[in-house]
């Protein structure tokens, strides 16, 4: 009846999104282990409060662990677990459905609450429907929406590290190159402040300008899908149903109309500030503060304030 969580690692330690997935897993009320791919990640994971064991598949280079290979590894471990989970980010979204298919398990995506060991809540149709789902599979694979859970304490634990032999990598694909086309240095999914731009920005240059403002404000840059489709912003910045789900302390939306698919990814933010020159824009229906006006004027004023500060 144990749970296994895929531990993602960044320079400073196990990611905030993984810490949140661990909180979710702990709510099942059964012991939970963490699977990591490097020695540094294992050291960091073993200190997390509540972790029972750390499984280290020592690849030496976590980046080399493609979702296809991770799926093989998870499927090989499935017999020991009733739940295998990850945060609802790129790696988990790619690896877990594959692993579920290989292990003949069930897969539940974007889970927002854990009711008991087999029952979960997830949102469907861009947040219009909330479904309670009961899994009857022997092993259930789940991705947890990070913003729905608080992070587990990163210190206080002393879990043992168990080293596993890595499986032969999936042979049909090879990692050729990895690019990180982000415009700010902060992780969008876990940033405390997100500054987002939409089609109203009108150009990639203006989006770069918004990215610089975000950077100086200590925020991450987000965008709407229309802005991504228009080539103003990279894919990695997209917020919404088919992008990232964020719930920062403050979300600033510049020139975003507020389509239901965008709201699905940011409506749980604590404070929403919207700038739009259309007083009827739907974004104002979820905004705590709305500025009806030209976004470039507001951007200019914020730039002045940030320069002075
Ligand atoms: C299956 C599906 C999935 C989707 N997934 C997503 C998703 O994940 N994320 C997402 O964002 N969208 C998604 N969409 C697209 C979504 O429906 C909208 O088309 C998109 O969100 C619109 O982006 P926008 O608000 O930037 O553009 P627009 O709707 O064109 O809005 C631009 C806004 O800028 C304002 N504006 C223009 N100039 C100025 C100015 N100078 N000052 C102030 N305001 C100005 C306008 O008044 C307008 O409200 C999805 C759609 C589908 C069908």
What is the Å distance from ligand 1's center to 198 Cα? Answer: 6
pLDDT of 183 reads 62
Whether residues 112 and 51 share a domain: the answer is yes
Instruction: State mean pLDDT over 219-246.
Output: 94
Whether residues 12 and 145 share a domain: the answer is yes
The domain tally of the chain equals 2
Least confident of 82-91, 134-143, 177-186, 250-259: 177-186
Whether residues 150 and 196 share a domain: the answer is no
Using one digit for the tens of pLDDT, what is the confidence trace for 266-278? 998 999 999 999 9
Whether residues 53 and 105 share a domain: the answer is yes
Distances (CA, A) of 35 to 44, 99, 210, 230, 295: 12, 14, 38, 39, 45
Whether residues 69 and 152 share a domain: the answer is yes
Task: Output the domain CATH number for residue 241.
Answer: 3.40.50.1220
248 lines ligand 1 (CB under 6 A): no
For residue 85, pLDDT beyond 60: yes
What is the Å distance from ligand 1's center to 90 Cα? Answer: 23
Give the bridge partners for 275, in sequence order: 254, 291
What is the Å distance from ligand 1's center to 9 Cα? Answer: 33
Q: How confident is the model at residue 175 (pLDDT cuts 50, 70, 90)?
A: confident
Domain around 135: 2-164
Whether residues 142 and 202 share a domain: the answer is no
Listed residue (257, 297, 263) closest to 278, CA to CA: 257
Whether residues 98 and 220 share a domain: the answer is no
Atom number, ligand 1, closest to the C-alpha of residue 281: 49
In a domain, 292, yes or no: yes
Instruction: State mean pLDDT over 44-52.
Output: 97
Listed residue (200, 94, 110, 177) closest to 148, CA to CA: 110
In a domain, 170, yes or no: no
Whether residues 227 and 157 share a domain: the answer is no
pTM equals 0.76
For residue 193, pLDDT beyond 90: yes
Residue of the CA atom closest to atom 51 of ligand 1: 261
DSSP character string of 244-303: B----SEEEEES----HHHHTTTTT-SEEEEEES-TT-GGGGT-SEEEES-HHHHHHHHH
Rounded to the nearest integer, the mean pLDDT of the chain is 92
In a domain, 174, yes or no: no
Residues of the chain with pLDDT > 90: what percent?
77
Residue of the CA atom closest to atom 14 of ligand 1: 261
188 lines ligand 1 (CB under 6 A): no
In a domain, 118, yes or no: yes
Whether residues 36 and 139 share a domain: the answer is yes
Whether residues 146 and 27 share a domain: the answer is yes
Whether residues 43 and 150 share a domain: the answer is yes
**Ligand 1 mutation target, pool 246, 255, 264, 301, most atoms within 8 A of CB:** 255
Atom number, ligand 1, closest to the C-alpha of residue 241: 8
Residue of the CA atom closest to atom 9 of ligand 1: 240
pLDDT of 123 reads 84
Instruction: State mean pLDDT over 84-101.
Output: 94
Dihedral, CA of residue 209, residue 213, residue 215 and residue 216, to nearest 10: 140
278 lines ligand 1 (CB under 6 A): yes
Between CA 198 and CA 203, with CA 201 as vertex, the angle to 5 degrees is 110
What is the Å distance from ligand 1's center to 239 Cα? Answer: 11
277 lines ligand 1 (CB under 6 A): yes
236 lines ligand 1 (CB under 6 A): no
**C-alpha to C-alpha distance for 253 and 258, rounded to whole angstroms:** 9
Atom number, ligand 1, closest to the C-alpha of residue 260: 17
């Amino acid at each position: 009846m144990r749970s296994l969580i895929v531990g993602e690692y960044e320079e400073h330690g196990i990611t905030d999104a993984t810490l949140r997935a661990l909180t979710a897993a702990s709510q099942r009320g059964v012991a939970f282990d963490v699977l990591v791919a490097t020695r540094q990640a294992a050291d960091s994971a073993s200190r997390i409060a509540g972790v029972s064991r750390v499984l280290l598949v020592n690849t030496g280079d976590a980046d080399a662990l493609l979702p296809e290979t991770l799926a093989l590894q998870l499927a090989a471990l499935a017999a020991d677990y009733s739940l295998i989970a990850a945060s609802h980010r790129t790696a988990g979204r790619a690896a877990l459905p594959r692993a579920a298919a290989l292990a003949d398990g069930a897969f539940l995506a974007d889970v927002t609450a854990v009711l008991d060991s087999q029952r979960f809540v997830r949102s469907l149709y861009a947040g219009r429907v909330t479904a309670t789902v009961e899994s009857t599979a022997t092993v259930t694979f789940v991705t947890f929406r990070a913003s729905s859970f608080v992070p587990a304490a990163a210190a206080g634990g002393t879990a043992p590290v168990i080293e596993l032999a890595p499986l032969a990598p999936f042979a049909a694909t090879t990692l050729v190159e990895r690019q990180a086309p982000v415009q700010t240095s902060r992780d969008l999914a876990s940033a405390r402040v997100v500054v987002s731009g939409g089609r109203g920005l009108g150009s990639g240059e203006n989006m770069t300008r918004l990215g610089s403002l975000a950077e100086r404000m200590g925020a991450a840059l987000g965008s709407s899908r229309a802005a991504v489709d228009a080539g103003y912003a990279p894919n990695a910045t997209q917020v919404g149903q088919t992008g990232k789900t964020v719930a920062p302390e403050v979300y600033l939306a510049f020139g975003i109309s507020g389509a239901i698919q965008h709201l699905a990814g940011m409506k749980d933010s604590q404070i929403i500030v919207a700038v739009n020159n259309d007083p009827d824009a739907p974004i104002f229906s979820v905004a705590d503060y709305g500025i009806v006006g030209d976004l470039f004027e507001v951007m200019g004023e914020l730039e002045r304030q940030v320069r002075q500060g």
